Structure 1
């Protein structure tokens, strides 16, 4: 029984060593192309950035419309917390627009 455990342990150790060697060879081969990969990722992120900021503006506009309808309905119903709800919705819309604008100016796009 002990012989079987030692044999399987040795096989597992050899397999792990082989996997580590293959991984290090793969890492060394791909490390030479690291700058090209980083440049490609930078290009891809920048290509989606304009669409992402436009999406944030659109979400802000939709939230503004939904918030306006909710505030109007609360105002007509005579609720006491209308100003709090209006501030929350207005603040969320302003936050999205300001974040999109600041990120856009921060990255210089």
Structure 2
């Protein structure tokens, strides 16, 4: 019974983090795109496959941030292995670049 309880607790934590991060990032992302292109993100995704790929790249970058938050104990402190500094120094720049590169590409094209 303990394993089932642990599974549901961890699943709830992951679900909470994903909804929280993607909700906040989606709102912020829409505002940034409106400022950059005078269009909404939904209209951009309808126009081309390239824009869909850009948003998918951003989602991958945000999943890296969610992974760091989950493994290091957010939003609840819990027992388990934390990510090492070396792993965090590897994941954070990659995630940040995956989030920022689509903005640069939207400005160029």
Give the alignment's TM-score, normalised by structure 2: 0.42
Quick check: which has more Rg, 1 or 2?
Answer: 1
Which has the larger share of helix?
Answer: 1
